[in-house]
Structure 1
Amino acid sequence: VAFATLDARYRTDATSLFSLVRNLGSSIGVSVVTVLLVRNTQINHAELSAFINPFNPNLWAVSPAAAGGAPTALSQVDRMVNLQAMMISYVNDFKILMMMTLAAIPFVLLLRKPKT
């Protein structure tokens, strides 16, 4: 599909150029998604941590030791907050990727039919 409109004499050059662009694009894409994941995890962790305080009665109900400030209980609560923040970040990143994919679908209509 990528080389359907090219003459046969240009296809070898086009293959190397296509591979270069594909590798660069995938590397940049992975880097951007990783940056978004880390950034969103930190933001979500900060937002979720705002609800963890000794005055929150829900914290006392789940773990009296955590609400009292026990170090092991607090580390377990932090671990759970990290897990939840990361899960929210993954969901948000996949939503972004879905939107990008849906936005790219109309470009398929711009492709020319191959010469026969």
Structure 2
Amino acid sequence: MILHAETVESIFGYWPEFSDGRIEFFSFERPGIICLRISYIDSNIQKAAVVSLRFSGVTDLDLSELRSENIVDVLSISSESPTVVTIEGCYGLCGTFKCNAAEVAGVVPNHSFKADGFAAA
């Protein structure tokens, strides 16, 4: 279960896999906390947002390929306990880890998004 998932679902109407999402921020802090901020666009429904995720109680960390630009193919968060998080990367960061808790730490909708990729004037 992802705490506060409804804040993301209220924008997109579903929980996304963050396909083609750009990882804007990544941090690993002791004692086992990972924070991700992903800029995600669903051009089919013309919705966009920056989603901040926080994972605590992180174990079995196996991540690689962190680069200056990181694009997600699929970000999956299992419903079992402990939670298994898998980042399949198009480019850059990829791998897996387990955690005790996953939560949406913040969501900032981009209301100026247009399907052609340009912001409204």
- Greater RCO structure (CA 8 Å; 6+ sep): 1
1 or 2, which has the higher helix percentage? Answer: 1
TM-score (norm 1): 0.18
1 or 2, which has the higher strand percentage? Answer: 2
TM-score (norm 2): 0.18
Larger gyration radius, structure 1 or structure 2:
1
